Amino acid sequence: MRFRLPKTGVVALLALGGCGAPAVQPTPWRAEAGSAPWRVEVEDVSLRVDPQIVAAGPKDVWAFGGRGSEDTVWRPTARHWDGRGWSKVGLPGGRIGAVKAAGASAASDVWAVTLDGSSSTVLHWNGERWTIDRRLPGFTVTALEVFSPRDVQVFGTGSHAAATGWTRSADGWSETRLPFRIARTSARSARDIWALTFESELYHQDGSGWKPVPLDGVLPAGKRKGFEDTRYQLNTITATAAGIWITAERAGGIPSSEMDGTRTQPLGPGDLHLSSLLLHGDADGRRWTAESTMKKAGRFSPFGAPIIDPDGGVWLIGSTDVNATESTLAHRTATGTWTSNRIRASGFSLFEARAVTRIPGTTRFLAAGMNDEKGALLSTP
């Protein structure tokens, strides 16, 4: 039986006497990506834990990694797709660490931020080579937004866990203290950034400052007797001109009556009271809806942000098990129809996706992640 840490920090998902019951059964993949199986593009342990995929165009894709199992040395890695094949590209400095955030505004403007202990390094690709653009001692990166070569924003925590942001402009890099710790971001422009905090709050930067966006009216409230706090955790976010999509999860602790050593059956989703939601807000973030998705897509991954279709459909990393380690690519049409297809390939009958991207201008998807021993980058045909 595999041991997994909790993905959201809300609850440890333990399986007593087994590995838990499936949360949802996959259905045939009937959406745009087709029904062909996934194939292995790159196999490397560095893609196991914190992979980043940046698709700058149909013939220009980067896959970054660096962290394998806990007993391996972390070294940032980069691989590039040029439309014909994948090549390994060296990153400057040979630093120990892992690429924790990456983004691009064009094929000749790709950025990656590595993390080594409590210090980060900002790397830049100008279309020909990688260079070190800025070292950030004592800074732990959590998110990155790229708007142009002279407009890059990096979010994270500085000394004494202070919320901090670094901005690159025509005048160079400058540091700004933030009113909260940012965990995830999604931006429509440099003056239109949406952020999730580590305290599971939503904020919007509209160019005049950060403003809280209340979600009390859309997130179900309540606390069950005998359980720990069951507040929803906001995990991933994507903002487009059509609106904002957020994945959320709630899980209560296991009551002491279930932990007295007498239980022999595996814990399933019902025992853990898991609840995954897909939130959708309008373009201004003023009107919101919430849809329960456990029976439709399983437990969402907290790693891959929603991918939005031009017609309003949305792709997400779902799962078939309570630990969300058997990933699916779930799709919701604009009219509310769900399909889900398990992500698997030769040598990876079980695959936990930690990043999923659709290549621009195509129907191909890339998924990076792992099974128990290996890391890989998979693709649809």
* 300-321 tens-digit pLDDT: 999 999 999 999 999 999 999 8
Q: How many Cα atoms within 13 Å fall on the side-chain side of residue 294?
A: 18
Q: If you write DSSP's letter for every residue of 279-339 in order, what string do you get?
A: EEE-TTS-SEEEEE-HHHH-SPPSSSPPEE-TTS-EEEEEESSTTS-SEEEEEE-TTS-EE
Q: What does the pLDDT read at residue 69?
A: 58
Q: Two tokens at 161?
A: 């866990």
Residue 322: pLDDT band (50, 70, 90) is confident
Q: What does the pLDDT read at residue 24?
A: 41
What's the CA gap between 84 and 373, in Å, rounded?
A: 28
Single pTM value for the model? 0.86
pLDDT digits (tens, 9 = 90+) for 264-307: 666 555 555 678 999 999 999 999 999 999 999 999 999 999 99
Share of the chain above pLDDT 70, in %: 80
Residues in CB range of 303: below 8 A, 6 or more apart: 236, 317, 353, 354, 355
Q: What does the pLDDT read at residue 117?
A: 81
pLDDT digits (tens, 9 = 90+) for 29-47: 343 444 458 999 999 989 9
∠ CA 16-22-27, rounded to 5°: 170
Helices (H), the chain: 269-272, 294-297
pLDDT digits (tens, 9 = 90+) for 369-380: 998 889 999 999
Residue 21: pLDDT band (50, 70, 90) is very low
pLDDT over 60 at 26, yes or no: no
Q: What does the pLDDT read at residue 94?
A: 64
Q: State the CB neighbour count (10 A cutoff) for residue 259.
A: 12
